Structure 1
Amino acid sequence: MEIDRAIKECDDKRLKTKYNNAIYVIQRALALYSVEEVALSFNGGKDSTVLLHLLRAGYYLHMAGKNQSFGNHGDGETTLPIRTIYFESPTVFPEINSFTYETASIFRLQMDIVRSDFKSGLEALLKAKPIRAFFLGVRIGDPTAVGQEQFSPSSPGWPPFMRVNPILDWSYRDVWEFLLTCKVSYCSLYDQGYTSIGSIHNTVPNALLSLSKSTSSEDKFKPAYMLSDGRLERAGRAKSFISQPSSAAVKGFKNEDYFMKSMFTASVIAVGEEILFGTVEDPMRSILSRKLHSIGWAVSHVAVIRNDIDSVADEVERQKSMTDMVFIYGGFGPLPSDVTAAGVAKAFGVRMMAKLPEGITELLHHENLSLPLIKCQNVIILNATNVKELEQEWDCLIELMRSCGYLQMTGPFVSKRLATMLSDVEIAEPLSEICMEFPDLVIGGYRESRSGPVVVTFKGKDKARSSAAIAALRKKFHHGAFSEID
């Protein structure tokens, strides 16, 4: 078998050890479960590509041990008769899609394609065709790797199956040593400087591989395997801000939709019946939104929910996959802290252990905080119950997350406002045209009173773009129709 032969002939002792351990895990799984009872998760990324070829080698060796004539006609090296599941998303890179389907054709993979969200899609798929074990390309350092071992049962709340992780202890270097040593094909994006590929909205080439000193759309990058420090492979998970989109890019997008898709976004969730009943005011939501805007993040969703586990779980489950980060804090008065934490645990399908979500919790300690902040993957649980505490927690959070690289800091938003005594009807259509012409800005309006002026707001990252949009709007009306507030 060409994979096994390539590894045995190489001089890399570390790679041989990693390979042998991974093959042992695969063969152990194939001894425990029949081929009909296992499945492979394949998404076209580098880790799942390694997993695919390890599984090919492991299956070949497993079958050859049972039948000496297996593979004599070449089928054993090209065919992998293990069910393969591909979760296809509309935000996936076309190169990933193409590579996935080409690979499936070459190795005659039995592909099941899921186009819904991961959990519900998996539930529907396994209900129709149950499996007992799932081969995954999870590695230590991945957000989903916390608490997992090479054989780990699925989390509570998920369909029951065994997660098999043959490359759990592999590093970034190990992955590329394997791919290059075995001379197998991988997605072309990795030759363009991408080191960790997510969606088209949150992935750019890794700046550490740039061949030029300044970054631009014309920048050239070294291939992914030349990244010297594998711990920085996710440094490319950053969003590119498009300051001057072409008219072709504008077509078919609403102004705010296009704006939100071009940068980091956050959700803010407040927990407490007191807010819902109007018993107390909650200034923390607006302050937290302003704090996020100050580091260049757009707030795409703000919610107030009831103080119970199911309400927290439902809202967190919706928002954690729609935004880059979710910030949640619990109301006022005697709010049991474990209600919010338990809701977050339920949203991720994990158990509570010592009043914290098991396997996904990271405690963020700071000398200026009496209690640590809680980070569960992309959800931050704040302890603050008032503005003063929020200010302190935010400063500590920024310091901690900047040092760990969790929170990407970008340029702050620039806001400009105009006032006019023109009616809503008069300015509606011209303002819509400006929105289409400047999709990189969020343009809106409001009245502070029924008889007062209309205030038109322009928010974006580029002050010059806001000024250009204001000038374009003024040209559509008589001189003096708009006055600038700030």
Structure 2
Amino acid sequence: MDSRPNGVANGVAAPDAAHTLPDICYTLRKKVLAFLDETLEDATLQKVQQQVRISNGVIEDALRRYGPEHLSISYNGGKDCLVLLILLLACLPTVDSSATTSGVDSDSGSSQPKPEPTPLKALYIVSSKPFQEVEDFVATTSKEYHLDLDRYTTKMRPALEEYLAKRPELKAIFMGTRRTDPHAELLTHFDVTDKDWPQFMRVHPVIDWHYRRDLGSLAVDNDATKFRPAYELRDDYEERLGRDR
């Protein structure tokens, strides 16, 4: 494992240290609930709302099944896992929250305050040739969102073996996998790893998201000088176009 600290490099500004994890979770929860409460005419945004509700239902199910202390998130700074991280933080229990972000209030009859969230365990398996910008982004966002991040530079299987040996309490890991990713066609929201792999439950809250619904991503236009919003993509595979330039 690479033990370098999650510092901020190349002039990237550090986040405001005053933003505590409970504050962040509460703020994100308010934003997610406000978005879900909107009455929208745009069909694409309506689909976003639908997918957010589905994803949050999966996250809340995982939190009920395992508890935050037995969960981790696979985080590499990419668009899909960043969306997942935001939704996961919005679902974490906070003292000030009462409604679930999937639209079902599971605690409406309880007057007991919820415990404050603790830092999320996170796993970062570094690619063979990482971009420094990605490294900086992972470091910055890990600090901003209070992730308890472990960083590995080995291949996936030995990294998972080492990670689970270090974190034996883990029972499930949130993954930002989507159905258009390689070998993901038959995945469900909850899938145990294959028998010859380190054993844990893989949780896929954003498995059925598409780039037409992922409004934060960009697609390179044909002349490689312009950008188009992701929701203009006709096919998710178009997002890969231009990466060989």
1:145 paired to 2:150: no
Q: Distance in 2 between matches of 1:86 and 1:13?
A: 32
| 1:47/1:146 CA distance change after superposition, 3 Å | same
1:34 paired to 2:63: no
Q: Distance in 1 between matches of 2:242 and 2:71?
A: 31
Deviation at residue 225 of structure 1 after TM alignment? 2.3
Give the structure 1 partner of residue 97 of structure 2. 64
Indicate which of 166, 171, 174 corresponds to 1:135. Answer: 174
CA contact 1:8–1:16 (8 Å) conserved in 2: no
Which amino acid in structure 2 is aligned with residue 31 of structure 1? R
CA contact 2:211–2:233 (8 Å) conserved in 1: no
| Per-residue Cα deviation, 1:132-181 (whole angstroms, up to 9, x for no partner) | 101011111111313211011111211111111111111111222xx4xx
Give the structure 1 partner of residue 37 of structure 2. 8
Indicate which of 130, 134, 137 corresponds to 1:92. Answer: 130
Counterpart secondary structure, 2:149: strand
Q: Distance in 2 between matches of 1:25 and 1:96?
A: 28
Indicate which of 231, 236, 245 corresponds to 1:231. Answer: 236
Give the structure 2 partner of residue 155 of structure 1. 194
Which amino acid in structure 2 is aligned with residue 14 of structure 1? K
CA contact 2:94–2:114 (8 Å) conserved in 1: no
Deviation at residue 111 of structure 1 after TM alignment? 0.7
Deviation at residue 127 of structure 1 after TM alignment? 1.1
Indicate which of 116, 123, 131 corresponds to 2:161. Answer: 123
Structure richer in strand, relative to its length? 1
Give the structure 1 partner of residue 76 of structure 2. 43
Deviation at residue 227 of structure 1 after TM alignment? 4.0
Considering only CA atoms, is the larger Rg found in Structure 1 or Structure 2?
1
| Per-residue Cα deviation, 1:392-412 (whole angstroms, up to 9, x for no partner) | xxxxxxxxxxxxxxxxxxxxx
1:25 paired to 2:29: no
1:52 paired to 2:81: no
CA contact 2:233–2:239 (8 Å) conserved in 1: no
Q: How does 1:194-343 map to 2 (within 5 A)?
A: 195=219, 206=220, 209-210=221-222, 212=223, 219-225=224-230, 227-236=232-241, 238-240=243-245
CA contact 1:39–1:133 (8 Å) conserved in 2: yes
Indicate which of 129, 140, 152 corresponds to 1:114. Answer: 152
Which amino acid in structure 2 is aligned with residue 99 of structure 1? F
The normalised TM-score by structure 2 is 0.72
Counterpart secondary structure, 1:99: helix
CA contact 1:84–1:109 (8 Å) conserved in 2: yes
Deviation at residue 100 of structure 1 after TM alignment? 1.4
Where do 5+ consecutive residues of structure 1 fail to align? 180-189, 196-205, 213-218, 241-486
| Per-residue Cα deviation, 1:313-354 (whole angstroms, up to 9, x for no partner) | xxxxxxxxxxxxxxxxxxxxxxxxxxxxxxxxxxxxxxxxxx
Counterpart secondary structure, 1:174: coil
Deviation at residue 69 of structure 1 after TM alignment? 4.7
Deviation at residue 92 of structure 1 after TM alignment? 1.9
Deviation at residue 226 of structure 1 after TM alignment? 5.7
Counterpart secondary structure, 1:163: strand
Which amino acid in structure 2 is aligned with residue 153 of structure 1? V
| 1:14/1:61 CA distance change after superposition, 3 Å | farther
Deviation at residue 9 of structure 1 after TM alignment? 2.8
Q: Distance in 1 between matches of 2:212 and 2:114?
A: 33
Q: How many residues align?
A: 200
Deviation at residue 4 of structure 1 after TM alignment? 2.7
| 1:19/1:156 CA distance change after superposition, 3 Å | same
Q: How does 1:366-385 map to 2 (within 5 A)?
A: none
Higher relative contact order (CA 8 A, sep 6+): 2
CA contact 1:132–1:162 (8 Å) conserved in 2: yes
| Per-residue Cα deviation, 1:54-103 (whole angstroms, up to 9, x for no partner) | 111122479935676559xxxx7xx7622011112341222222221111
Which amino acid in structure 1 is aligned with residue 54 of structure 2? N
| Per-residue Cα deviation, 1:201-233 (whole angstroms, up to 9, x for no partner) | xxxxx4xx13x4xxxxxx412145264313333
CA contact 1:33–1:132 (8 Å) conserved in 2: yes
Where do 5+ consecutive residues of structure 2 fail to align? 1-28, 99-106
CA contact 1:80–1:107 (8 Å) conserved in 2: no
CA contact 1:149–1:168 (8 Å) conserved in 2: yes
Which amino acid in structure 2 is aligned with residue 127 of structure 1? A
| 1:235/1:125 CA distance change after superposition, 3 Å | closer
Structure richer in helix, relative to its length? 1
Counterpart secondary structure, 1:232: helix
Deviation at residue 115 of structure 1 after TM alignment? 1.1
Q: Distance in 1 between matches of 2:239 and 2:127?
A: 20
Counterpart secondary structure, 1:155: coil
